[in-house]
């Protein structure tokens, strides 16, 4: 099992590690700062620094429980020491974008009682779908104003690990369908934007809502009955 440093410290940019396995899918390390894609957040990119030179990592993902770094070339072998270094600027954009999405979902839930039906993000931009019956650009502008007001409050963002039974009993977590997480997941990782949002989540986030900066709602679209899409971009 790879020690996943991003789950507890999303600001760590590099770590010394040992290669455990190499196959055509990628490289497994004993520990890593790379985030494997999931929950709408893309996998990290970066390099594995070796005495023989840098090896590019083009994606990070999980397969059959293994955390794989997809590499391009390089003669890596089990037992080798490497330094795993993520593309920090890209990751930090993803952290800001991911935290913006949580704030957006919280605002839509609080003010319009609508749950999230799906979402996806790129560094600096994202979309999220909601169980809303109607949407308009005026609605989008209202949401943008409220969202920026909340983010500008500079709310602290916390990572907790909560025993499964406690998470299941928390009314704030029920809207995010915490009960549907596989039973072997215990404790459950929780991301809390203080006073605004709490959800079970595996992704990487910034430490405060102020670090997200301003967000623009760039588009509103209908994707069918009770399924409306909001697109956002980081504006700072």
Rounded Cα distance between 14 and 17, Å, is 9
First to last CA, the chain: 38
Q: How far is the CB of 7 from Zn ion (least distance, A)?
A: 13
119 binding Zn ion? (CB under 5 A): no
Q: How far is the CB of 102 from Zn ion (least distance, A)?
A: 6
Total binding residues for Zn ion by CB under 5 A?
3
* Beta strand spans in the chain (E): 3-4, 14-23, 26-29, 31-32, 46-50, 53-63, 66-72, 81-86, 116-122, 125-130, 157-162, 188-193, 197-200, 215-222, 228-234
Q: How far is the CB of 188 from Zn ion (least distance, A)?
A: 13
Which listed range, 1-9, 144-152, 162-170, 193-201, lies at the site for Zn ion (CB under 5 A)? 193-201
Which residue's CB is nearer to Zn ion, number 39 or number 153? 39
Rounded Cα distance between 148 and 228, Å, is 20
In the bound complex, which residue of the shown chain has the CB atom lying closest to Zn ion?
201
Residues 194-233 touching Zn ion, rule: CB under 5 A, are 201, 203
Q: How far is the CB of 83 from Zn ion (least distance, A)?
A: 28
Per DSSP, the residues of 128-183 read EEE--S---HHHHHHHHHHHHHHHHT--BEEEEEE-HHHHHT-HHHHTTTGGGS-T
Which listed range, 31-39, 42-50, 115-123, 216-224, lies at the site for Zn ion (CB under 5 A)? 31-39
Q: How far is the CB of 75 from Zn ion (least distance, A)?
A: 37
Which residue's CB is nearer to Zn ion, number 198 or number 228? 198
What is the contact surface with Zn ion in residues (CB under 5 A)? 39, 201, 203
């Amino acid at each position: 099992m790879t020690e996943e440093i991003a789950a507890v410290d999303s600001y760590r940019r590099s770590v010394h590690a040992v290669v455990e396995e190499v196959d055509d899918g990628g490289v497994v390390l004993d520990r890593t700062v790379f985030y494997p894609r999931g929950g709408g957040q893309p996998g990290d990119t970066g390099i594995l620094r070796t005495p023989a030179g840098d090896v590019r990592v083009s994606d990070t993902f999980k397969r059959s429980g293994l955390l794989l770094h997809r590499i391009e070339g390089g003669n890596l072998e089990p037992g080798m020491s490497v330094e795993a270094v993520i593309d920090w600027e890209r990751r930090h954009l993803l952290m800001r974008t991911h935290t913006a999405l949580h704030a957006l979902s919280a605002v839509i839930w609080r003010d319009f009682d609508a749950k999230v039906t799906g979402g996806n993000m790129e560094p600096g931009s994202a979309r999220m779908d909601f169980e809303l019956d109607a949407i308009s650009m005026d609605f989008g502008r209202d949401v943008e104003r409220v969202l920026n007001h909340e983010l500008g409050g500079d709310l602290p963002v916390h990572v907790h690990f909560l025993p499964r039974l406690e998470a299941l009993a928390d009314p704030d977590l029920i809207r995010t369908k915490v009960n549907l997480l596989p039973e072997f997941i215990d404790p459950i990782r929780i991301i809390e934007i203080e006073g605004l949002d709490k959800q079970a989540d595996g992704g990487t986030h910034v430490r405060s809502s102020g670090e997200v900066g301003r967000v623009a709602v760039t588009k509103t679209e209908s994707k069918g009955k009770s399924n409306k899409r909001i697109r956002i971009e980081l504006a700072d």
